[in-house]
Amino acid sequence: AQSVTQPDIHITVSEGASLELRCNYSYGATPYLFWYVQSPGQGLQLLLKYFSGDTLVQGIKGFEAEFKRSQSSFNLRKPSVHWSDAAEYFCAVGARAGNTPLVFGKGTRLSVIA
Amino acid sequence: KAGVTQTPRYLIKTRGQQVTLSCSPISGHRSVSWYQQTPGQGLQFLFEYFSETQRNKGNFPGRFSGRQFSNSRSEMNVSTLELGDSALYLCASSLGRREGNNTEAFFGQGTRLTVV
């Protein structure tokens, strides 16, 4: 069965510091991969996605993620965190074809301190 | 282009009552999925509708049901509400091609349901 693991429940970083959020997945084939962000009381906003091609994908708000097939990982990175990046981040995996729904990780809450 | 619209944003209901939530997808999107989000369980898939047909269903009791209309708008109904149904209910829309590669899902702001 498909699954997504986000090992870090909560991460605190200083404003201006770099960030890496981890995501590992279990899937039968090469999946589609997504990162979403959720501010308190809001819906999920798509940050970036990996479908195929270049394994380093760029997203909105200065985020990027790298797909590593050998490690079944899709880690999210940002070189310099801003206070407005404080939110919850979800990694998700989806099928390349067919109708199976997205499977989400439990999320990583990011706190940003001055 | 307008995003995914969910109404109402907030609801307070009493145990035993029923509730209907609404979702209007992005124009041109034919697939609507519903998710329940709680602090303990995270995001759990409820069901997906495509062209007025339920295409996928998660592991929820029959009290949870949905439907989709010809304009792709979707409603979700929960009958005989329980305290444990308190959650943020999120709707996601996507192109939802019948065959071939899937596309990304775009989420609404959610409906916060509180059962007292």
Min CA distance, A100 vs chain B (Å)? 7
Which pLDDT score, from 0 to 100, does residue A95 have?
A: 79
Using DSSP, state whether B57 is helix, strand or coil. Answer: strand
Q: Is B95 left (phi over 0), alpha (psi -120 to 50) or beta?
A: alpha
Q: Do B101 and A106 touch (CB under 8 A)?
A: no
Residue A38 pLDDT exceeds 60 = yes
What 3-state class would DSSP assign to A9? coil
Indicate the residue of A36, A46, A96 with minimum beta-carbon distance to B101: A96
Cα diameter, chain B: 44
CB-CB contact of A4 with A75 (8 Å): no
pLDDT in tens, A44-102: 999 999 988 889 999 999 999 999 999 999 999 999 999 999 999 999 998 776 667 88
- pLDDT given for residue B102 in this prediction: 64
3-state DSSP of A21-49: ECCEEECCCCCEEEEEEECCCCCEEEEEE
A99 contacts B43? CB cut-off 8 A: no
The residue ranges of chain B whose pLDDT is under 70 are 1, 97-102
Decide if B48 contacts B33 (C-beta within 8 A). Answer: yes
* Spatial distance between the Cα atoms of B37 and B19, rounded to a whole number of angstroms: 17
Looking at residue A27, its pLDDT comes to: 86
Residue B98 is predicted with a pLDDT of 58
pLDDT of A13 over the 70 cut: yes
| pLDDT attached to residue B1 | 65
pLDDT of residue B40: 84
Q: Which residues in chain A are closer than 8 Å to B99, comparing Cβ atoms?
A: 97
In this prediction, residue A30 has a pLDDT band, given cuts at 50, 70 and 90, of confident
Reported in sequence order, the residue ranges of chain A that DSSP labels E, i.e. its strands, are 3-5, 10-14, 19-21, 24-26, 32-38, 44-50, 56-58, 64-68, 73-78, 87-94, 103-104, 108-113
DSSP letters of B76-87? EEE-S--GGG-E
B5 touches chain A (CB under 8 A): no
